[in-house]
């Protein structure tokens, strides 16, 4: 019998880990509470419209290709990606805009219209980041986390110092561009790390660099098709996925996992258990008190969790052909560097930043002829800040619809055919996300690398975590890197005998 591993949750992290483990020869099973795979990415159908629910921005396609290739599958048999141009349009508080694009010459031409020295400043930044990517990606993002002491390597520290990791993203971009529009445009990915640019370390300037260098992509059929592709790949590798089968608890005896207990009361044995359920949710609901280690309620309440998002998913009976796929409105309030703006600790009902995805222009299959779907996302406080959504939801929705013309979406109200709204409470209650913090733990220094929760549990043998809470962090590309690390740790702790490993000679 091969070594048996149970994965709790069929989110991207659970599916990717299952694919990798199964391809090595482990016997893997996934138990998923919902009726579909994909977690936050599972998407939904509303009448004739199909919507992505969570991720819309896909970076670094090579990590997806590697996942399939290293699992022994051909990526193109499962999904195709389309490259977007522009990557994203950022419209500013003063109604000017800039298109972030991987066409570097076109980007520099836009910069030249803002200020004559900016193209050169951008070139300096870009060249510095080619080096930063070499010294930063592999050792920090692309490899399993080390102990804190493991990072104290004089050679690595000396290589990192010129990049001033102590600087904030805000100060980093200000040093190059000295124009607030560019500072906020270039640092917009900090939002999906759950942080304001002035609170986020400049180590994350690698994310916009990777978008410039490798582009921003869209999976054909949307991210729900990507979720289905991961699910199909896992099944093709022999992984049964039990949908509609919520797990009640990880079954632990004497500090060692024995398997899981389902809501039905049935117990299923396993050699190891990988928890893909959201970390905060999983710690509180899936572990017996004795196995929580240092993650007590008190500890969780002191950890920094990301903002949540207010969502509108609109089916509309018109197309917005002239507007790009990704657009963000960067509001004047976004420039404020004090609470509540810096930490999303209160609902901004005057001038919130927001994002609109217009996917039908590249993916017309998600709406009937001449119609489109629009996906609107507004960062909002997570549920620890107690916004009264029963009282606020309608007026906040009206505010956002009234501001959509700022991004060129005119007359939306009169074209709406279907409408679904999520608040922080939806993410908490329907997606089992602790505090509705959709981007998981913040990425401040005390929650980075070895200071994030560990993939390999510190307190229970045979228990592993996979998802946005562990190193290297929240977001699809980093979670796929974490899946590689989870497989590495499990391989160390639960090695396969030669005869069980795939590829072993009989
Ligand atoms: C609005 C939004 C926008 C985003 N935008 C982007 C983006 O553009 N790019 C990007 O890279 N990332 C983005 N993200 C982040 C990305 O979606 C997440 O990082 C990713 O989905 C997390 O994956 P995961 O596998 O860790 O967990 P999840 O997707 O949360 O999956 C966890 C799974 O565990 C299941 N589960 C929980 N409890 C149980 C139980 N007791 N029994 C059985 N199953 C259980 C859940 O049902 C779920 O299927 C976005 C997220 C949101 C919400």
User: Among residues 295, 281, 288, which one has the least CA distance to residue 252?
Assistant: 288
Q: What is the pLDDT of residue 136?
A: 82
* Co-location of 449 and 375 in the same domain: no
Does residue 192 line the site of ligand 1, with CB under 6 A? yes
* Co-location of 349 and 407 in the same domain: yes
Task: Judge whether 268 lies within some domain.
Answer: yes
Task: Judge whether 255 lies within some domain.
Answer: yes
CA of 415 to the centre of ligand 1 (A): 31
* Co-location of 324 and 418 in the same domain: yes
Q: What is the pLDDT of residue 503?
A: 62
Boundary (domain end) residue, out of 207, 239, 267: 207
Task: Judge whether 115 lies within some domain.
Answer: no
* Co-location of 226 and 250 in the same domain: yes
Backbone φ, ψ for residue 156 (5° rounding): -70, -40
Does residue 247 line the site of ligand 1, with CB under 6 A? yes
On the question of a cis peptide bond just before residue 99, with omega within 30 degrees of 0, the verdict is no
Q: Which tens digits make up the pLDDT trace of 153-208?
A: 888 888 888 888 889 999 999 999 999 999 999 998 887 787 899 989 898 999 99
Does residue 54 line the site of ligand 1, with CB under 6 A? yes
* Co-location of 293 and 411 in the same domain: no
Task: Judge whether 311 lies within some domain.
Answer: yes
Per the DSSP assignment, residues forming a β-bridge with 316 are: 372, 416
* Co-location of 316 and 395 in the same domain: yes
Q: What is the pLDDT of residue 149?
A: 78
Query: How many whole angstroms separate alpha carbon 439 and alpha carbon 39?
Result: 13
CA of 46 to the centre of ligand 1 (A): 20
Q: Is 465:279 a contact under the CB 8 Å cutoff?
A: yes
User: Among residues 37, 41, 32, which one has the least CA distance to residue 438?
Assistant: 41
Q: Which tens digits make up the pLDDT trace of 416-436?
A: 999 999 999 999 999 999 999
Percent of the chain residues past pLDDT 90, beyond the cut = 84
Task: Judge whether 88 lies within some domain.
Answer: no
Does residue 432 line the site of ligand 1, with CB under 6 A? yes
Q: What is the pLDDT of residue 502?
A: 76
Mean pLDDT of 472-484: 94
Boundary (domain end) residue, out of 401, 416, 434: 434
Using 50, 70 and 90 to split pLDDT, how confident is the model at 33? very high
Asked if pLDDT for residue 505 goes beyond 50, the answer is no
Boundary (domain end) residue, out of 207, 234, 249: 207
Mean pLDDT of 14-40: 98
Per the DSSP assignment, residues forming a β-bridge with 273 are: 6, 463
Pairing of strands 4-8, 27-31: parallel
Four-residue CA torsion sign, 225, 464, 492, 145: positive
On the question of a cis peptide bond just before residue 86, with omega within 30 degrees of 0, the verdict is yes
Q: What is the pLDDT of residue 280?
A: 97
The counts of H helices and E strands in the chain are 15, 20
pTM over 0.85: yes
Four-residue CA torsion sign, 192, 197, 198, 200: positive
Q: Which tens digits make up the pLDDT trace of 34-71?
A: 999 999 999 999 999 999 999 999 999 999 999 999 99
Which ligand 1 atom sits nearest the alpha carbon of residue 37? Answer: 49
Q: Which tens digits make up the pLDDT trace of 261-270?
A: 999 999 999 9
Task: Judge whether 10 lies within some domain.
Answer: yes
Query: How many whole angstroms separate alpha carbon 488 and alpha carbon 295?
Result: 24
Does residue 55 line the site of ligand 1, with CB under 6 A? yes
* Co-location of 11 and 75 in the same domain: yes
- Number of compact structural domains in the chain: 3
User: Which residue from 8, 11, 479 has its CB within 8 A of the most atoms of ligand 1, so it is best to mutate?
Assistant: 11
Query: How many whole angstroms separate alpha carbon 348 and alpha carbon 452?
Result: 29
3-class DSSP string for 391-448: HHHHHHHHHHHHHHHHHCCCCHHHHEEEEEEECHHHHHHHCCCHHHCCCCECCCHHHC
Residue nearest atom 16 of ligand 1, based on CA coordinates? 475
| 3-class state of residue 504 by DSSP | coil
* Co-location of 410 and 317 in the same domain: yes
Query: How many whole angstroms separate alpha carbon 473 and alpha carbon 201?
Result: 13
Does residue 476 line the site of ligand 1, with CB under 6 A? yes
* Co-location of 426 and 322 in the same domain: yes
Q: Which long-range contacts (CB under 8 A, 24 or more apart) does 177-180 make?
A: 177/118, 177/121, 177/122, 177/125, 179/114, 179/115, 179/118, 180/335
* Structural domain that includes position 368: 307-434
Query: How many whole angstroms separate alpha carbon 254 and alpha carbon 271?
Result: 14
Does residue 39 line the site of ligand 1, with CB under 6 A? yes
Mean pLDDT of 477-498: 95
Half-sphere CA count of 235, side-chain side, radius 13 A: 13
Q: What is the pLDDT of residue 140?
A: 81
Mean pLDDT for the chain? 94
* Co-location of 145 and 165 in the same domain: yes
* Co-location of 54 and 161 in the same domain: no
Mean pLDDT of 248-253: 98
Mean pLDDT of 109-130: 96
Q: Is 29:239 a contact under the CB 8 Å cutoff?
A: yes
Task: Judge whether 336 lies within some domain.
Answer: yes
Query: How many whole angstroms separate alpha carbon 48 and alpha carbon 81?
Result: 24
Task: Judge whether 386 lies within some domain.
Answer: yes
CA of 59 to the centre of ligand 1 (A): 16
Strand boundaries in 169-286, DSSP class E: 216-219, 241-242, 247-253, 256-262, 267-269, 272-275
Mean pLDDT of 323-341: 94
Asked if pLDDT for residue 393 goes beyond 90, the answer is yes
Does residue 56 line the site of ligand 1, with CB under 6 A? yes
Write the CA distances from 453 to 47, 166, 220, 289, 448, integer angstroms: 41, 22, 34, 17, 9
Does residue 436 line the site of ligand 1, with CB under 6 A? no
| 3-class state of residue 378 by DSSP | strand
Q: What is the pLDDT of residue 412?
A: 97
On the question of a cis peptide bond just before residue 340, with omega within 30 degrees of 0, the verdict is yes
Does residue 57 line the site of ligand 1, with CB under 6 A? yes
* Co-location of 314 and 422 in the same domain: yes
3-class DSSP string for 154-165: HHHHHHHHHHCC
CATH code of 463's domain: 3.50.50.60
CA of 230 to the centre of ligand 1 (A): 14
| Among 5-14, 131-140, 357-366, the least confident range | 131-140
CA of 203 to the centre of ligand 1 (A): 24
């Amino acid at each position: 019998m091969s070594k048996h591993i149970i994965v709790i949750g069929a989110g991207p992290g659970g599916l990717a880990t299952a694919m990798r483990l199964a391809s090595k020869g482990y016997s893997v099973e996934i138990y998923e509470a919902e009726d579909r795979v994909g977690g936050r990415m599972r998407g939904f159908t509303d009448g004739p419209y199909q919507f992505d629910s969570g991720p819309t921005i896909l970076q670094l396609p090579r990590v997806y290709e590697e996942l399939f290739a290293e699992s022994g599958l051909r990526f193109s048999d499962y999904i195709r990606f389309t490259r977007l141009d522009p990557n994203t349009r950022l419209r500013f508080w003063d109604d000017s805009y800039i298109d972030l694009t991987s066409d570097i010459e076109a980007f520099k031409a836009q910069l030249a219209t803002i200020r004559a020295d900016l193209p050169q400043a951008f070139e300096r930044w870009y060249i510095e980041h080619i080096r930063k990517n070499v010294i930063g990606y592999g050792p920090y993002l692309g490899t399993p986390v080390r102990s804190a002491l493991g990072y104290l390597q004089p050679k690595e520290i000396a290589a990192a110092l010129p990049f001033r990791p102590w600087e904030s993203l805000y100060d980093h971009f200000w040093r190059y561009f000295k124009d607030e529009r560019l500072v906020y445009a270039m640092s917009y990915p900090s939002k999906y790390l759950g942080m304001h640019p002035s609170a986020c370390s400049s180590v994350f300037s690698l994310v916009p660099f990777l978008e410039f260098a490798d582009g921003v992509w869209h999976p054909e059929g949307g991210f729900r098709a990507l979720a289905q592709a991961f699910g199909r790949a896992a099944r093709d590798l022999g992984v049964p996925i039990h949908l509609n089968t919520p797990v009640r608890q990880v079954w632990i005896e004497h500090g060692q996992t024995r398997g899981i207990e389902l809501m039905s009361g049935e117990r299923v044995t396993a050699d190891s258990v990988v928890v893909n359920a959201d970390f905060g949710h999983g710690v509180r609901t899936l572990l017996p008190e004795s196995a929580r280690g240092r993650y007590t309620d008190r500890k969780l309440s002191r950890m920094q969790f990301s903002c949540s998002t207010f969502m509108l998913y609109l089916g509309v009976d018109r197309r917005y052909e002239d507007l790009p796929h990704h657009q963000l409105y960067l509001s004047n309030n976004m420039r404020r560097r004090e609470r509540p703006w810096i930490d999303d600790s209160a609902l901004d009902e005057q001038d919130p930043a927001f994002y609109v995805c217009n996917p039908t222009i590249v993916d017309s299959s998600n709406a009937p002829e001449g119609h489109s779907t629009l996906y609107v996302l507004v960062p909002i406080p997570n549920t620890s800040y107690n916004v009264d959504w029963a009282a606020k939801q309608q007026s906040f929705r009206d505010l956002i619809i009234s501001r959509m013309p700022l991004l060129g979406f005119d007359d939306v109200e009169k074209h709406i055919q279907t409408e679904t709204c999520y608040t922080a409470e939806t993410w908490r209650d329907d997606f089992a996300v602790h505090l509705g913090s959709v981007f998981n733990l913040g990425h401040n220094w005390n929650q980075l690398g070895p200071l994030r929760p560990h993939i390999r549990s510190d307190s229970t043998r045979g228990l592993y975590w996979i998802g946005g809470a562990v190193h290297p962090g929240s977001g699809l590309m980093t979670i796929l890197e974490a899946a590689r690390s989870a497989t590495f740790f499990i391989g160390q702790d639960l090695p396969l005998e030669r005869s069980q490993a795939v590829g072993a000679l009989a």
